[in-house]
């Protein structure tokens, strides 16, 4: 369980960093003709996921983390879907895969056989 949580946390960190790079270096500098979607729901979901990172090898904490990761992934995908084409590239497209990797890492812990 500890290894699964560590792998999930590492993948989450990678996705969170990818989002941060996109937010700081692309979104905040964007001055295009089409409006960008509001990043606040993504940022809030990522903060919730960060707070949910398990502090112990505990199945209940792993479930809470998985639920927060799934919510962050949904918010991020909705954000990406609403992005103007010029912004739909780079780090923002890497982050969903990292969050999906985090969820996959937790699957053995979350399965009834795990």
pLDDT at 11 over 60: yes
Helix axis angle for 59-82 and 91-110, nearest 10°, is 150
Cβ atoms of residues 57 and 5 within 8 Å: yes
Rounded to 10 degrees, the C-alpha dihedral 50/10/98/70 comes to -40
pLDDT at 112 over 80: no
Distant-in-sequence, close-in-space partners of 78: CB < 8 Å, separation ≥ 6: 41
Cβ atoms of residues 114 and 104 within 8 Å: no
pLDDT tens digits for range 28-68:
999 888 899 999 999 999 999 999 999 998 899 999 999 99
Number of domains in the chain: 1
> Which residues constitute the domain of residue 21?
2-110
pTM of structure? 0.91
CATH code, domain with 44: 1.20.120
Q: How far is CA 64 from CA 18, 29, 31, 38, 61, in A?
A: 22, 34, 37, 25, 5
């Amino acid at each position: 369980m500890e290894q699964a949580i560590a792998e999930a946390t590492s993948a989450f960190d990678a996705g969170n960093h990818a989002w941060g790079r996109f937010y700081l270096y692309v979104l905040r500098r964007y001055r295009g003709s089409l409006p960008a979607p509001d990043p606040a729901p993504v940022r809030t979901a990522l903060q919730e996921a960060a707070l949910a990172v398990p502090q112990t090898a505990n199945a209940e904490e792993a479930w809470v983390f998985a639920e927060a990761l799934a919510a962050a992934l949904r918010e991020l995908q909705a954000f990406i879907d609403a992005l103007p084409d010029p912004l739909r590239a780079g780090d923002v497209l890497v982050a969903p895969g990292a969050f999906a990797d985090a969820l996959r890492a937790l699957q053995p812990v979350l399965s009834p056989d795990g």
